[in-house]
C-alpha cells in the first residue's frame, strides 16, 4: 500500500505537497488506470509490445515510450544509461538495476526525488525505472477472473525486460529495489520468478498483503478504484492473494539476497519540524486495535509490521535477509537514505564483489557485519564502533574513520579491541567510526603469494578494496582515515599506509614487526611457523625470504619507508622486561626485544629520509594491555589528522 503523501504527489508531480488535490482527481485517474483505449489487446493476448518513441531527457537519461498490450496503452520507461552505452555494439551488455516507484507509478521519481543520475557508482550500470498505473500493485489484475489490463507484471517482465535485453544493452545480472508499493514489487517479482534478480530491497514495502487486507480495500476505495479487481476477495480468492504475497512465497526467495527496511510510523530524524499526521483514510487502521497516539503515519506502522513478519518468515525458510527498522514515517527522505544504505549490496550482487550478508547490533554502539568476501573465499566479520548519530544518519552523513587491526593468533580477531581495551569508553572516539575487521590467525594483512598463484586469502584486498568501499558507500565512512594496530596489526597499519600512500592520514604501530627483513625477524619467524602449523607452513605468505626477497620487500615498511612521507607515524614497543601493566610474577619476554630492534630500525630509516615519526620505547612485554595504553598515547596524533 502507498500512503497518501506519496500517491497524491504522483498525480501532480509533487509527492509531498498535493494531498489536497487527491479527491478532485480520483475519478479521472481511476478511469485512466482501468479503461483501455480502443485498438489495444489485453494481457495474455498475442499482441507484441514495441518502443514507439525515444527521448533524451538529460545527460545519460533516455525515456522510452512503449506500446503495451499488457497495459492496454502506451507507457513510459526511464533509463539511466551507463558510460559508453550510446556507442554500444550488438553484443554489449551491462548489469541492470531496476528501481520501482511507489503506488503513483511515476517513472521520473528516482531521478527527480533521489537524483540517482548523480551517483558515481551507477556509471557502469543500466538503471531501469518503469511506469506503473496508479496503485497497480506490480500485478496482473484479476478483474473478476477475466484478466486484462492493467497487466503490470506482464508489462514489466514479459514485455519491457525482453525489449531491453534485446535492443538496449540490458544484461542478465539484475537487482531490484523499490519504495513503498515498489518495495512490494521488487520482493514479489523476485519470489514469483526465482533467479530473475540477484538481490532485491524493499523500502517501506507492503510486503505481506494478507496480514492487513483491509488496508488494500481502504486505500483503493479512497481512490475510487475497485479493490476486488486487483486480486479478488481475500477470502474467496485467497489462493490468488497468496500467489502474490511474498510471505507465502518465502521459500522461493532462497538464493536471492533480500533487504527489508521500514520506519515505525513515529516522527524520526528525517521528519522536518511541523510534520503533520497522515491524512485520515477510513479503514486503514483497525478500529479494534488502533495505533498509539505518537504514530503519525499509520501507513508506515503497517509496513513495519509486515516487513518484520516477512523477515522472520524468510529467516525460518533459510533465505538470506538483512533488515533496517528505524523510527520514522512514510516519507521519501527515509527512502533516499535507505537507497544509499543498500546500494553497495545491490551493486555487489551484480558484479560478484564482497557483500554484507548480515548485520547484528551487539552493544549500544557496536554493530557486527558479516561479509561474503571473494578475496578471502569465505565469509568474514567486521566490528564497527559507531559514532553519535550514526543510527539516524542521512545519505550525506560521513564520519572520519579509525581502523584498528588486531594481532596474530587472536582467538577473537575482530572482537579483540573491544575485549582487551577501553575503546568503547574513549570520549574522543564518539565522533569517529571505528572499524575493527577480522584479519586471520596469521594473515599478516597481505594478499598471500601462494607460490606465485595468488588467490585466497587476500587480506589487503579484503580490507582496502572490499571492506573500505562498502563502508564508504553504505555505512557513513568518510575519506579521512587513520589506522592503528597491535603486534601483527601494527605491521598491518604501517604496511597499508606505505603500500597505499595517501589512503591513511596517520598510522600507529604498537609492538609491530615493522621491518620484515631485519635479522631479528629471522629469529621470530620460526616461532611463528611452529605456532601456525610447523616448518614451512607460512611459506605461502610471501614465499622464501631469499628466493622471493622482492615479495618480502614489497610488504616491508622499512623498504617502503619513503612512501610514508606525508603520513603521520607513531611507533611504540616494549623492551621485554616486565613493566607496570604486566601481571605480578611475569617473566622476561624474549620476543619483544626483537620487535624493539625492528621499530628502532624503521624509526632510524624514517629519520634519515626526513620523515617525522613519534616513538615511545618503554619497559614492558608483549602484553595486550600495552596496546590499549599506547592507543591512548597515540590518540592525540590520530585525532588531529582525522579532524583537521
pLDDT of residue 40: 28
DSSP annotation of 206 reads -
pLDDT of residue 528: 83
Report how far residue 541's alpha carbon sits from residue 310's, in angstroms, rounded to the nearest whole number.
45
Report how far residue 130's alpha carbon sits from residue 107's, in angstroms, rounded to the nearest whole number.
5
Region of 232 please: left (phi>0), alpha (psi -120 to 50) or beta.
Answer: left
Phi, psi of 86 (to 5 degrees): -65, -20
Report how far residue 296's alpha carbon sits from residue 470's, in angstroms, rounded to the nearest whole number.
33
pLDDT of residue 352: 62
pLDDT of residue 530: 79
Residues with pLDDT less than 50, the chain: 1-46
Report how far residue 321's alpha carbon sits from residue 328's, in angstroms, rounded to the nearest whole number.
21
pLDDT of residue 47: 58
* Residue whose entry in the numeric block shows the C-alpha cell 598515547: 633
Q: Residues 141, 150: contact at Cβ < 8 Å?
A: yes
CA angle 88, 92, 97 (to 5 degrees): 100
Report how far residue 201's alpha carbon sits from residue 182's, in angstroms, rounded to the nearest whole number.
10
**What sign for the dihedral angle of Cα 606, 607, 611, 617?**
positive
pLDDT of residue 501: 86
Report cis status (omega within 30 of 0) of the bond before 457: yes
Rounded-to-10 torsion of CA 169, 174, 180, 185: 100
Report cis status (omega within 30 of 0) of the bond before 150: yes
pLDDT in tens, 301-316: 999 999 999 999 999 9
Q: How far is CA 517 from CA 306, 320, 539, 560, 615, in A?
A: 59, 45, 15, 12, 21
Q: What is the DSSP string of 412-459?
A: SGGGHHHHHS-GGG-GGGGGSEEEEE---SS-TTSB--GGGT--S-BH
Q: What is the DSSP string of 224-278?
A: T--THHHH--TTTTHHHHHHH-GGGGGGGGTTSEEEEEEE-SB--TTSPTTPPPP
Q: Residues 449, 548: contact at Cβ < 8 Å?
A: yes
Report how far residue 187's alpha carbon sits from residue 207's, in angstroms, rounded to the nearest whole number.
7
pLDDT in tens, 452-494: 888 899 999 899 888 987 888 779 998 899 999 999 999 999 9
Report how far residue 331's alpha carbon sits from residue 334's, in angstroms, rounded to the nearest whole number.
6
What 532-537 contacts at long range (C-beta under 8 Å, 24+ apart), as own/partner pairs, is 532/441, 532/442
pLDDT in tens, 59-81: 999 999 999 999 999 999 999 99
Q: Residues 611, 623: contact at Cβ < 8 Å?
A: no
Q: How far is CA 205 from CA 187, 246, 403, 409, 563, in A?
A: 9, 11, 35, 45, 50
Query: CB under 8 Å to 537, separation ≥6 — which residues?
Result: 529
* 2 exposure class (CB count in 10 Å sphere: 0-12, 13-18, 19+): buried
pLDDT of residue 18: 31
Q: How far is CA 467 from CA 315, 348, 438, 510, 609, in A?
A: 25, 12, 11, 23, 32
Whole-angstrom Cα Rg for the chain: 29
How many residues are present in the chain? 644
β-bridge partners, 361:
367
Rounded-to-10 torsion of CA 526, 527, 529, 534: 90
Q: Residues 196, 174: contact at Cβ < 8 Å?
A: yes
pLDDT of residue 33: 32
Amino acid at each position: 500500500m502507498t500512503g497518501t503523501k506519496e500517491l497524491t504527489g504522483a498525480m501532480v508531480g509533487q509527492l509531498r505537497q498535493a494531498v489536497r488535490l487527491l479527491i478532485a482527481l480520483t475519478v479521472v485517474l481511476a478511469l485512466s488506470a482501468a479503461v483501455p483505449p480502443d485498438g489495444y489487446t489485453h494481457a495474455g493476448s498475442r499482441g507484441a509490445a514495441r518502443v514507439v518513441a525515444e527521448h533524451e531527457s538529460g545527460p545519460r537519461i533516455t525515456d522510452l515510450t512503449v506500446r503495451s498490450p499488457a497495459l492496454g496503452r502506451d507507457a513510459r520507461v526511464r533509463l539511466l544509461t551507463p558510460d559508453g552505452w550510446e556507442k554500444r555494439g550488438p553484443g554489449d551488455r551491462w548489469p541492470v538495476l531496476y528501481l520501482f516507484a511507489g503506488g503513483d507509478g511515476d517513472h521520473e521519481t528516482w531521478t527527480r526525488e533521489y537524483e540517482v543520475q548523480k551517483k558515481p557508482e551507477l556509471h557502469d550500470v543500466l538503471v531501469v525505472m518503469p511506469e506503473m498505473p496508479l496503485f497497480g500493485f506490480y500485478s496482473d489484475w484479476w478483474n473478476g477472473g477475466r484478466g486484462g489490463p492493467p497487466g503490470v507484471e506482464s508489462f514489466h517482465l514479459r514485455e519491457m525486460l525482453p525489449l531491453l535485453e534485446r535492443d538496449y544493452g540490458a544484461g542478465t545480472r539484475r537487482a531490484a529495489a523499490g519504495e513503498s508499493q515498489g518495495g512490494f514489487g521488487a520482493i514479489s517479482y523476485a519470489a514469483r520468478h526465482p533467479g530473475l534478480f540477484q538481490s532485491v530491497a524493499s523500502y517501506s514495502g507492503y510486503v505481506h498483503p494478507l496480514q492487513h487486507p483491509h488496508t488494500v480495500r481502504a486505500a483503493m476505495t479512497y481512490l475510487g478504484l475497485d479493490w476486488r479487481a486487483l486480486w479478488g476477495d481475500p477470502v474467496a480468492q485467497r489462493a490468488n492473494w497468496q500467489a502474490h504475497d511474498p510471505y507465502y512465497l518465502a521459500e522461493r526467495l532462497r538464493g536471492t539476497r533480500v533487504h527489508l527496511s521500514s520506519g515505525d510510523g513515529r516522527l524520526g530524524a528525517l521528519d522536518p519540524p511541523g510534520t503533520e499526521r497522515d491524512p485520515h483514510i477510513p479503514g486503514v487502521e483497525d478500529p479494534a486495535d488502533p495505533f498509539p497516539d505518537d504514530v503519525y503515519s499509520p501507513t508506515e506502522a503497517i509496513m513495519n509490521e509486515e516487513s518484520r513478519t516477512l523477515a522472520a518468515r524468510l529467516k525460518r525458510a533459510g533465505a538470506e535477509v538483512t533488515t533496517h527498522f528505524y523510527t520514522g514515517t512514510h516519507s521519501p527522505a527515509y527512502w533516499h537514505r535507505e537507497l544509499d544504505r543498500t546500494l553497495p549490496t545491490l551493486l555487489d550482487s551484480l558484479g560478484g564483489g564482497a557483500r554484507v550478508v548480515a548485520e547484528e547490533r551487539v552493544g549500544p554502539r557496536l554493530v557486527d557485519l558479516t561479509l561474503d568476501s571473494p578475496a578471502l573465499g569465505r565469509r568474514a566479520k567486521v566490528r564497527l564502533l559507531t559514532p553519535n548519530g550514526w543510527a539516524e544518519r542521512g545519505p550525506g552523513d560521513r564520519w572520519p574513520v579509525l581502523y584498528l587491526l588486531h594481532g596474530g593468533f587472536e582467538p577473537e580477531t575482530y572482537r579483540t579491541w573491544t575485549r582487551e581495551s577501553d575503546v568503547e569508553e574513549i570520549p574522543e572516539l564518539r565522533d569517529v567510526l571505528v572499524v575493527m575487521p577480522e584479519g586471520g590467525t596469521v594473515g599478516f594483512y597481505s594478499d598471500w603469494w601462494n607460490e606465485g598463484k595468488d588467490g585466497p586469502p587476500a587480506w589487503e584486498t579484503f580490507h582496502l578494496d572490499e571492506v573500505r568501499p562498502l563502508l564508504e558507500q553504505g555505512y557513513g565512512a568518510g575519506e579521512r582515515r587513520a589506522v592503528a594496530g597491535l603486534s601483527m596489526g601494527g605491521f598491518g597499519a604501517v604496511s597499508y599506509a606505505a603500500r597505499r600512500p595517501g589512503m591513511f592520514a596517520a598510522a600507529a604501530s604498537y609492538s609491530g614487526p615493522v621491518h620484515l627483513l631485519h635479522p631479528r625477524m629471522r629469529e621470530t619467524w620460526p616461532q611463528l611457523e611452529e605456532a601456525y602449523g610447523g616448518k614451512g607452513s607460512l611459506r605461502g605468505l610471501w614465499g622464501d625470504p631469499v628466493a622471493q626477497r622482492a615479495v618480502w620487500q614489497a610488504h616491508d615498511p622499512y623498504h617502503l619507508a619513503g612512501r610514508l612521507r606525508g603520513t603521520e607515524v607513531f611507533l611504540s614497543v616494549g623492551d621485554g622486561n616486565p613493566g607496570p601493566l604486566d601481571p605480578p610474577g611475569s617473566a622476561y619476554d624474549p620476543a619483544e626485544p626483537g620487535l624493539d630492534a625492528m621499530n628502532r630500525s624503521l624509526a632510524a630509516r624514517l629519520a634519515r629520509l626526513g620523515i617525522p615519526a613519534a616513538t615511545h620505547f618503554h619497559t614492558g612485554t608483549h602484553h595486550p594491555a600495552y596496546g590499549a595504553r599506547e592507543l591512548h598515547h597515540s590518540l592525540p596524533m590520530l585525532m588531529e589528522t582525522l579532524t583537521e
